[in-house]
Amino acid sequence: MTRKAVFFDIDGTLINIMRRRPQMTERTRQAILELRRAGHRTLIASGRPLVYLDDELTTQGLFDGYVLMNGAAVFVDGHCVYEQPLPRARVREIVALSEAHGVEYILQGPRQVYLRPEFHGLEEFYRGIGIDVGRFVRSFSLEDIDVCKLEFLAFEAEGGGAFRQLLALPGFAGLMDPYHKKNMELYAADVSKGSGILRALEALAIPVRDSIAFGDGLNDIEMMQTVGTSVAMGNAQPEVKAFARYTVPGVDEDGVAWGISHLILHRDE
């Protein structure tokens, strides 16, 4: 049997926070366990930092590693095998621009996230999607922390122009919410889920041809282009499906479980 490394996005792939389902279904959980029993390695590939991960993703023996913050930090078998903090001078510049436009921001590091205590909008946003804000560091100095990625909340579309300015910074890339345009994330342009997956595969000593990824969002396109076999969820955006070799049922139909059974383990249900 050829051992595979299988990477899973979280939101819209393993769980559906839009429908207030912040945990995996039992069917999905059992499918991942079966995949592991068959000798394959399982990993998360997410835009989230470590602190945002629910306990079921980190303490229940489901995953061997984590490609986080769109590839800016990679953990394998309990060890951080890669991290790429942003230049601190740039972080100060981004923070100053955000504050000048009244935009709330959260600073995401390899092991901690940092949120000003007065940023109640972001605090409520994360509570609303099931993230334990009690884990956030609320008192900090920009001079003392490493930041790999930032997320923003504005109270007017595009942050009153701040988002466009941030996206134009050299060496940075990001995604703005395409609907209300009041949320955005920003990270280094030279990292992606794809680059993070390559570092994880190197640590696992598994060739790219034996890697598989499940995803649904725009930040999953790079990993679709990187892995040996790309799988889009039925609820994925059309741009994502265009890069996928296979499309499985949606997250609400346990598409991950279906894909594990039919595409990897080759079992009928």
Please name the residue ranges forming H helices in the chain: 26-37, 55-58, 88-100, 120-128, 162-167, 193-204, 221-226, 238-241, 255-259
Share of the chain above pLDDT 90, in %: 90
Cα angle value 37/216/114 (rounded, 5°): 90
Q: In the block, which residue shows the tokens 């900090």?
A: 140
Give the residue-averaged pLDDT of 169-182: 91
CA distance 252 to 21: 9
Helix, strand, coil content of the chain in percent (nearest 5): 40, 25, 40
Cα separation of 206 and 269, whole Å? 28
Position 268 confidence tier, pLDDT thresholds 50, 70, 90: low
What digits encode the pLDDT tens for the residues 70-108? 999 999 999 999 999 999 999 999 999 999 999 999 999
pLDDT at residue number 147: 98
pLDDT digits (tens, 9 = 90+) for 127-145: 988 899 999 999 999 999 9
Quote the pLDDT of residue 19: 76
d(CA 254, CA 234): 10
Pairing mode of beta strands 104-108, 229-232: unpaired
Smallest CA-to-CA distance from 66 within 49, 54, 87, 89 is with 49
Instruction: Say which range, 7-16, 110-119, 175-184, 223-232, has the weakest mean pLDDT.
Output: 175-184
* Domain boundaries of the chain, sorted by first residue: 5-83+191-264, 88-188
> How far from 246 is each of 4, 16, 193, 236, 240, CA to CA, in Å?
17, 20, 19, 12, 11
Average pLDDT, whole number, for the chain?
Answer: 95
Cβ atoms within 10 Å, residue 59: 9
The answer, yes or no, to whether residue 180 has pLDDT greater than 90, is no
CA 197 vs. chain centroid, Å, equals: 12
Superfamily of domain 5-83+191-264: HAD superfamily/HAD-like (3.40.50.1000)
CATH (residue range 88-188): 3.30.1240.10
Give the pair of three-digit tokens for residue 245.
Answer: 């070799």
Of the candidates 183, 220, 243, 256, the residue with the CA atom closest to the CA atom of residue 70: 220
